[in-house]
Structure 1
Amino acid sequence: MAAALTPENIRTAPKVLLHDHLDGGLRAGTVVDLADAAGYAKLPTRDAEELAGWFLGAAHSGSLERYLETFGHTVAVMQTRESLVRVAREAAEDLAADGVVYAEIRFAPELHVEQGLDLDNVVQAVLEGFAAGPSSITVRCLLTAMRHAARSREIAELAVRYRDAGVVGFDIAGAEKGFPPTRHLDAFEYVRQQNAHVTIHAGEAFGLPSIWEAIQWCGADRLGHGVRIVDDITMDRHGTPQLGRLAAYVRDMRIPLEMCPTSNVHTGAATSLADHPIRLLRDLRFRVTVNTDNRLMSGCTMSSECQALVDTFDWGWTDLRWLTINAMKSAFVPFDQRLALIDEIIKPGYEKLLSP
């Protein structure tokens, strides 16, 4: 008989996280500490518990733009080498404690140079913090360029420069509307020419054109969110799903979807968890993965995301195992490392839960 799907058992299950923002996952207490050290006086409260509640409330506005405003506070206190090392180390510690065995954490180096650090200093500090984390988790890094800015080629070159030190890919993020990924074609072409990996925030706050550009123009290996791919799926009169050409291509090519259910509800990309397209996309066997996006802003963990899906869709251990293996297959580390984690950690971990 399988182990009960309790929060504690779900926490012990091996999990894989592909979409998690460093500046969206700080401990609230750390934000307060770093603000005090930096003399940053703009926090809405200096009480850690109240601050965590404030972040969650601001994030739950249903607007991606309002959601993104909260990062002004976290980024403001992540401007020194010491703060970046601490935040990165604590991220690794928190994820490991939550049962995550592999994580790719992303951040935008260009946002952390306001007090004298250069881009290399920023990346080195974050990688140092990850390396200081627990041995039970493998943490790799994705470097993000801001889609409204003009430093994407520079960040792409940075990602390639540190590819052997723990950086496994390149990303763009920020408001989708008005800032299509094709504005950064030179960066994407450079990364691909260097045989490096690309994931692009697409299909979260904007629809199919954003996804199409990310894949067909920019060569995205994965889609950050990709929720709006459901707009290319219709139901015929018998209730049978019919895939449009773009949705069919995404499924046929096994392009991973980095879905973040709680965050998607908070930003308005999905109206509710029950209405989130992850259920339909899982049933249709898209390469679905489950992620946290911003653990501080959305008040979530990988375990709470899994628990919410279990409770909402009546999913079981086999569903969680399928999602986890999907994610590990889609990671940007070499194939042999992916296979080792699947065969030596993920499958045995779920076997224990399925047959305790």
Structure 2
Amino acid sequence: MTSQTLNTPTAEQIRRAPKVLLHDHLDGGLRPGTIIELARETGYEALPETEPDKLGIWFREAADSGSLERYLETFAHTCAVMQTREALFRVAAECAEDLAEDGVVYAEVRYAPEQHLEAGLSLEEVVEAVNAGFREGERLARESGHRIRVGALLTAMRHAARSLEIAELANRYRDMGVVGFDIAGAEAGFPPTRHLDAFEYLKRENNHFTIHAGEAFGLPSIWQALQWCGADRLGHGVRIIDDITVAEDGSVSLGRLAAYVRDKRIPLELCPTSNLQTGAAASYAEHPIGLLRRLHFRATVNTDNRLMSGTSMSREFELLTETFGYTLEDMQWFTVNAMKSAFIPFDERLAMISDVIKPGYAELKSEWLFRQTATTSDSSFGES
């Protein structure tokens, strides 16, 4: 066994490692079987497949197709079955359970309340159903021996005109399970500056918000999100790489925007598999996360849409470990970055880092050292 193999966490260790997730869409993470059951209950007949395995494959293939129309169609199906209180409660509870089973100890899950009103629910009823579902999922996770805390991010759609209304909604529920605000949707043609009134309101209320920026549209989107809107974090932000130059001799120089992002410790909600699907990166090896890690940006690892990407936090870390040779130390670095960047109070973030994350990784590192010692002993015995 090589030192590289010894230094690499196993898939089982990656799954058990405490992980923090900041960028995950509720309508992008449903279980295929749940979609089928909810469609049957609500009379929705437009699903492309009615067997869970085949439906899961359809979602992944549609997301991988390179067709924006097919990619958007995937969300039409998930949102269509999330229009009742019971459905929202179930999906939220299962989301918390699934993340906890994957070793996630803290998650911020986002959704757009305005997309769940077709059956007559009010915005408030949507938020209360999802919040209740998250609490139920946390309870069920505890019964299964897992620990997780889930906060909600309320998202406004960039192409719509309800961002101030959703921001006010997020502020009303900020002490009842909602931890912040987001805008999502197509970047090109719908700059964040269209929603300045919402961001100005949130800043006056000392509330937190992230903005989807720097995935499809590039540096102007990042600049606007930070300098005009005042975002606390960047949803994706992967295109900050366009402001970083790597010379032939390997030397690196940062443009002023990239330097600002690094110096100000602005969190980047990177989603490697999703970024490949949307064309923001050509391969895992070419994903900017490798360089951003080396340059000590506040990089975090996320899932984006677990159903469409066929992924989980463990799978993302497995892929990064295989690609960049990341160790448990690297995993802890990404995880602490994410926890530092969460939208909950400082003392609660510190407690999660000190009481959950660091002890969890310390235990896994002890296992690694034991494994290394045992392997070295076996090797020495064989050579004697």
TM-score w.r.t. length of structure 1 = 0.98
Aligned to 2:58: 54
2-structure distance, mates of 1:39, 1:62: 30
CA contact (8 A) 1:152 1:187 kept: yes
| Residue 205 of structure 2 corresponds to residue 194 of structure 1 | yes
CA contact (8 A) 2:301 2:334 kept: yes
2-structure distance, mates of 1:160, 1:172: 15
1-structure distance, mates of 2:26, 2:265: 27
| Residue 191 of structure 2 corresponds to residue 180 of structure 1 | yes
1-structure distance, mates of 2:261, 2:64: 29
CA RMSD after TM alignment: 1.2
Rg (Cα) greater in structure? 2
2-structure distance, mates of 1:49, 1:180: 38
Relative to structure 1, the CA distance from residue 160 to residue 344 in structure 2 (aligned partners, 3 Å threshold; closer, same or farther) is same
Deviation at 1:66, TM superposition (A): 4.0
CA contact (8 A) 2:44 2:81 kept: yes
Aligned to 1:273: 284
1-structure distance, mates of 2:35, 2:54: 12
Query: 1:70 aligns to what SS in structure 2?
Result: helix
Aligned to 2:45: 41
Matches within 5 A, 1:131-146: 131-133=135-137, 134-135=141-142, 136-146=147-157
CA contact (8 A) 1:3 1:353 kept: no
Aligned to 2:32: 28
2-structure distance, mates of 1:23, 1:285: 32
1-structure distance, mates of 2:49, 2:11: 30
2-structure distance, mates of 1:4, 1:145: 40
Deviation at 1:282, TM superposition (A): 0.5
| Residue 220 of structure 2 corresponds to residue 216 of structure 1 | no
1-structure distance, mates of 2:85, 2:283: 39
- Counterpart of 1:225 (choices 208, 231, 236) is 236
Deviation at 1:267, TM superposition (A): 1.1
Structure with a larger share of its residues in helix: 2
Aligned to 2:382: none
2-structure distance, mates of 1:67, 1:284: 33
Deviation at 1:8, TM superposition (A): 1.3
- Counterpart of 1:318 (choices 322, 329, 342) is 329
* CA shift digits 1:81-101 (9 cap, x unpaired): 000000000000000000000
Query: 2:223 aligns to what SS in structure 1?
Result: helix
Relative to structure 1, the CA distance from residue 53 to residue 261 in structure 2 (aligned partners, 3 Å threshold; closer, same or farther) is same
2-structure distance, mates of 1:260, 1:85: 26
2-structure distance, mates of 1:229, 1:68: 25
Matches within 5 A, 1:28-177: 28-63=32-67, 66-133=70-137, 134-135=141-142, 136-177=147-188
2-structure distance, mates of 1:5, 1:61: 32
Aligned to 2:21: 17
* CA shift digits 1:115-141 (9 cap, x unpaired): 100100000000000000124100000
2-structure distance, mates of 1:10, 1:251: 27
Query: 2:82 aligns to what SS in structure 1?
Result: coil
Stretches of structure 1 lacking an aligned partner (at least 5 in a row): none
Query: 1:172 aligns to what SS in structure 2?
Result: strand
- Counterpart of 1:304 (choices 315, 338, 343) is 315
2-structure distance, mates of 1:237, 1:37: 60
2-structure distance, mates of 1:66, 1:219: 33
Query: 1:79 aligns to what SS in structure 2?
Result: coil
2-structure distance, mates of 1:117, 1:59: 29
2-structure distance, mates of 1:147, 1:276: 26
> Equivalent pairs: percent with the same residue?
69
Relative to structure 1, the CA distance from residue 292 to residue 155 in structure 2 (aligned partners, 3 Å threshold; closer, same or farther) is same
Deviation at 1:9, TM superposition (A): 1.3
2-structure distance, mates of 1:209, 1:131: 38
CA contact (8 A) 1:171 1:198 kept: yes
CA contact (8 A) 2:8 2:328 kept: no
2-structure distance, mates of 1:214, 1:62: 26
Query: 2:300 aligns to what SS in structure 1?
Result: strand
Deviation at 1:238, TM superposition (A): 2.9
CA contact (8 A) 1:67 1:267 kept: no
Stretches of structure 2 lacking an aligned partner (at least 5 in a row): 368-384
* Paired residue total: 356
CA contact (8 A) 1:56 1:298 kept: yes
* CA shift digits 1:211-262 (9 cap, x unpaired): 0000000110000000100000112353211100100000000000000000
